[in-house]
Structure formats: structure tokens, C-alpha cells
Amino acid sequence: MSTAAVEEVPAPGTRRSTTWVLPLVVLILLGAVWAYVHSLRMDSIEARSLAAEVVLTALWQHVQLVVASTLLTIAIGVPLGVLLTRPRTRRAGAVVLAAANASQAVPSIGVLVVLAMVFGVGFWMAVVALVLYALLPVLRNTMVGIRQVDPALIDAGRGMGMSPTEVLCTIELPLAVPVMLAGIRVALILNVGVATLAAFTNAGGLGSVISSGISLDRMPVLIVGSALTMALALTVDWLAGLAERVLRPRGI
């Protein structure tokens, strides 16, 4: 027996050694942009567009858009996914998944514009569009995560006297967590990108920096807007990776 004692569960996420790479890339990117902007002799339009207050406000709006839409996506996608994997609703699950797949195929700018035309513009309208867009990965991964749970485990749970709710909470959900987290991570990254389009419906965000760079024909403004969006996406991905590592149940 003593020989077996040396076996160890491989640490979840064997990429531990590389966690510092992403933040390093972000820092280099931000440093490069900073150096670039400060090496310029800016005209008044550039100076106004790149004022710290303007850029930080846009960044903050962007973060708000992403956080609000992702939270809403989880709040809708996870319960819906759970509901659609219950024995009674399994059939409906296929239909909803197909619809969600189709909605993903629609270009995001189209969704935004149509929604803006129907419901008007503003922050919450943009959030609704982002939720519609990011729902698929969360919903699909919740369903896939639950369905891939070994039926023998559910049989064992039922056989020892767990109610369907206890089976869901002690067996199905914990074992679906890694797949669900992967879906949420995809939704987050999608939202960071798609939220730049929210500028077109007057919801602010880093998209407004980018679009003013384009419309004013000022390359430095455009570059700052894009670089910040990239840095934000990478940071969010890094944080989501850390969260995945912490939240993933041990032993699987």
C-alpha cells in the first residue's frame, strides 16, 4: 500500500507555470502605447480625444457593458441550460440549441442595429444585444457539461436515495463546472469584442474611441482605442483563466 501513497492527482491546470505570460503581454502592450502616445506631438483634436478623462470613461463604460452583459448571460444561460437537460424538456433542448446556434450566425452589428431600431439606443439596449449574442456559448456549454456526466454516477446517486435536485446539486452541476466555465469564458471574450460596436448605438465604451479615430482620421486615437480593447480582452481572459482554476472541483 505504501507504494500507492506516492501517487498524486495532477494539479488541475498544468499550465501553472505560464500564468504570468498574459499579464506580461498586456503590460508590454500598454507600455508600448504609452510610449507611442507620449512620443507624438499631438494636435488639439488628438489631445482632446485622448485626454485621460475621455479614455478612462470609455474604458469604464466598456467594462460596465461587459460585466453587466456577462452577468445577465450567466443568469439566463445557466438556469435555462439546466432546465433544458431535465428529462421532461430534453426534446425542447434540441430546438432551443438550434435557435441559439442560428442567432450566433447573425452578424453582431446587425443584431445591435435592429435592436436599436426597434427598442431605441443606450446602455441597456447594448447590454440586451450582447446578452443575445453571448448566450449561446453559456447555454450550450451548460447543457453539454451536464449531459456529459457519466450516467452511472447519476444511477449511483439515485440508487443511494438522492432526490433529482440532490443529484443535480451534488453530481451534475459540480461535474459540469469545467465545461460551463469554458463557455462563460468564451462569452466574456466575445463580449469585450462585440461591446466595441455598442458605440454605434450610443452606449459608449472603447468603440467610441475607435470610431472617433476613424471619423476624425486620427491614427493615434484609433490605435489607442484598439490597443486598449485588446489589452482588456487579454486581461479578462487571464482573469477568467484564474477563476477557472480556482472554481474547478478538485479530483477531476
Partner 1 sequence: MSDRPAPSQDAMIFLDGVSKHYPGQAKAAVSELSMEIKRGEFVVLVGPSGCGKTTTLRMINRLVEPTRGRIFIDGKDVTHADVDSLRRGIGYVIQQIGLLPHLTIADNIALVPKMLGMKRTDRRRRAEELLELVGLDPAVHVGRYPKQLSGGQQQRVGVARALAADPPVMLMDEPFGAVDPIVREKLQMEFLRLQASIRKTIVMVTHDIDEALRLGDRIAIFGPGSRLAQFDTPLAILSNPADDFVRDFIGSGAPVRRLSLLKVSDVLASFPSDMPSLANAIEVDAGETVHRALELVLASGAEGIEVGGAGGTSRYLDLQSLLTAAAQPTKVLS
* Interface ranges with partner 1 (CB under 8 A): 1, 4-5, 7-9, 150, 152-153, 155-163, 166, 170-171, 174-175, 249-252
- Contact (Cβ atoms closer than 8 angstroms) between residue 196 and residue 205: yes
First and final C-alpha spacing in the chain: 23
- Give the integer Cα–Cα distance in Å for 90 and 86: 6
Nearer to partner 1, 118 or 161 (CB): 161
Q: Work out the angle between the directed axes of helices 52-83 and 206-215 (0-180°, nearest 10).
A: 130
CA-CA distance, 177 to 65, in Å (whole number)?
A: 25
- The cell numbers describing 20, all together, are 504570468
Residue 7 or 217: the one with the smaller Cβ distance to partner 1 is 7
Q: Which is nearer to partner 1, 175 or 232 (CB)?
A: 175
**Considering beta carbons, is residue 43 or 150 the nearer one to partner 1?**
150
Q: Phi first, then psi: what are they for 204, rounded to 5°?
A: 75, -155
